[in-house]
Amino acid sequence: MAGSLTSLRDPRYRARLRALALVAPLVIFIGVTFIAPLGTMLTRSVYDPVVADVLPNTLRLLDSWDGVGLPSEAVYAAASEEISQAEAERSLGLVASRINRVRGGLRGAITHTSRELRNVQQGSRRESMIAIDSVWSDPATWHAIQVTGERFTSRHYLNALDLQRLPDGSVVSQPDERRIYVHLFWRTLMISALITLLCLVLGYPIAHLIARSPPQRANLLLILVLVPFWTSLLVRTTSWIVLLQTQGVLNDLLVAIGLIGDDGRLSMIYNMTGTIVAMTHVLLPFMVLPLYSVMRGISETHMNAAASLGATPLQAFLRVYWPQSLPGVGAGALLVFILAIGYYITPALVGGSDGQLISNMIAYHMQTSLNWGLAAALGGVLLAGVLVLYVVYERLIGIERIGLR
């Protein structure tokens, strides 16, 4: 800082200030309405104070429990008091559903216990709770309460990777029937890679054709690529349902020309095939546009020179054209892949059950199971993956070149 007065007079400094002042409103706007919401959501993947706030004494007393036998009478007394109080304050459902996620069946047990506790006036709380429901004599129940009582927790991330922490602190795999997320991440990656490949195979030749057409025709062909780009995603998805369903246009056509019998109609939608076909269609323009903008800059003369030196068209293509088009291939493939791994709408509508991707599981935990911590953790893993790809894209290609026309 060499004196603010001189620097304010410095035209470079003023230009910089002016530029920053122009950018600032948007940066602040995105910070508040986009980055902050992402942050609050990711916080949920590691932080949940509800159980700790509602059952503070129970948790404190559980600290001195040996973890093997029954907890002390004091724990039961605190638990029964806090459960009854939570019921009165209508926060019991929140607590019970959290504990239930760690150990299935406890939601019913807890709400049922609170109902019965109203009739219990005296005597040992331990005996009366165990009499109401035998889960209270199971150490696993108290472990589940301890686990959910942690304000800061890694269990959602462990869960998102099909892992769990046992009471002794060791990290092991989830039981078989709960081990689905790694499989789904893997499926998401594979389907996205396949779609990227399909887009490349379909998109490369037409980008090439457009790049080598005279301007008028190129513009017309580009419009054909852009029509799907601008058409509503839901319209395109509807189209594929209309085309591919069992009684749809394509099956009718195949039956009419006798290729398949009326009994042999193909299942092309509401399964993985539906997801792949519809997503390839949706994402193809994102491959063609960057390819086209690179190919437009490749001069014909190189190919002609190669040909005149005796190279076959294939050799000339592989040695001369393909390497020059690689930046477009990279840009298109990365963009398609990034968009594919986060896709939600199309698989939700046409994916049936085996065409669901990780985003659909996030939506399920957001809207149906309400396991928001797990949804946030799955989202965190997905977001980390996208960020890595995004940084790669930024380094290799530069984000301003995201193909838009």
Partner 1 sequence: MMSGTRPKFGRILYLGFCTLVFVFLVAPIIVIVPLSFNAEPYFTFTEGMLRLDPDAWSLRWYREIIFSEAWVKSFVNSIVIGVSATVLATFFGTLAALGLASSAIPARRAIMGMIISPMVTPVIIAAAGMFFFYSELGLGQTHLSIILAHTVLGVPFVVVTVTATLAAYDSTLNHAAASLGAGPWTTFRRIQFPLIAPGVISGSLFAFAASFDEVVVILFMGGIEQRTIPRQMWAGIREQISPAILAIATFLIVFAVLLLLTVNWLRQRGEARA
Partner 2 sequence: MNYHIKLVALSVLIALFVAACSTEEAPYVTAVSWGGSYGKAVNESANIPFSEETGIEVRVEDYNGGLAQIRAQVEIGEVHWDVVDLEIADAVRGCDEGLLEPIDFDMLTPAPDGTPASEDFPDEVKTGCGIGSLVYSNVYAYNAETIRGPAPETPADFFDLEKIPGRRGLRRVPHVNLEFALLADGVPANEVYAVMSTPKGLDRAFAKLETIKDQVDWWEAGAQPPQMLADGQVVMSTAYNGRIFNAQVLEDQPFVIVWDGQVYDIGQASIVAGTPRLAEARKYVAFLTSTESLARIGERISYSSVRNSGQSLVTTHLTTGVDMAPHLPANPDNMRNALRFDWAWWADHQDELNERFSAWLAL
Residue 234 binds to partner 1 (criterion: CB under 8 A): yes
Q: Which is nearer to partner 1, 55 or 361 (CB)?
A: 361
Q: Which is nearer to partner 1, 33 or 122 (CB)?
A: 33
CB of 85 to partner 1, least distance (A): 25
Q: Kindly report each contact of residues 101-106 with a partner whose C-beta sits within 8 Å and lies 24 or more positions away, as own/partner.
A: 101/148, 101/371, 101/374, 102/144, 102/147, 102/148, 102/155, 103/140, 103/141, 103/143, 103/144, 105/135, 106/135, 106/141, 106/144
Chain-centroid distance of CA 302 in Å reads 44
Structure tokens at 104: 């299935």
CB 52 within 8 A of CB 150: yes
Binding-residue pattern over the window 31 to 70 for partner 1, x denoting contact by CB under 8 A: x-xxxxxxxxxx-x--------------------------
Residue 108 binds to partner 2 (criterion: CB under 8 A): yes
Among 22, 68, 257, 309, binds partner 1 (CB under 8 A): 22
Q: Which is nearer to partner 1, 144 or 320 (CB)?
A: 320
Residue 195 binds to partner 1 (criterion: CB under 8 A): no
Residue 94 binds to partner 2 (criterion: CB under 8 A): yes
Among 96, 195, 331, 375, binds partner 2 (CB under 8 A): 96
Binding-residue pattern over the window 188 to 227 for partner 2, x denoting contact by CB under 8 A: ----------------------------------------
Integer Cα distance of 150 and 373 in angstroms: 13
Site residues for partner 2, window 356-375 (CB under 8 A)?
Answer: 356, 361, 364, 367-370
Q: Using N-to-C axis directions, what is the helix angle for 106-117 and 73-88, rounded to 10°?
A: 90
- Residue 291, judged by CB atoms within 10 A of its CB (0-12, 13-18, 19+), counts as buried
Integer Cα distance of 360 and 347 in angstroms: 8
Closest CA relative to residue 123, chosen from 70, 76, 187: 76
Among 49, 56, 105, 323, binds partner 2 (CB under 8 A): 105
**Residue 183 binds which of partner 1, partner 2, none (CB < 5-8 A, kind-dependent):** partner 2
Say how many residues touch partner 1, by CB under 8 A: 93
Q: Which stretch binds partner 1 (CB under 8 A): 8-16, 67-75, 100-108, 189-197?
A: 8-16
CB 362 within 8 A of CB 345: no
CB 55 within 8 A of CB 145: yes
CB 137 within 8 A of CB 70: yes
Residue 245 binds to partner 2 (criterion: CB under 8 A): yes
Residues making contact with partner 2 (CB under 8 A): 87, 90-94, 96-97, 100, 104-105, 107-108, 111-112, 114-115, 177-178, 180, 183-184, 245-247, 263, 267, 270, 352-353, 356, 361, 364, 367-370
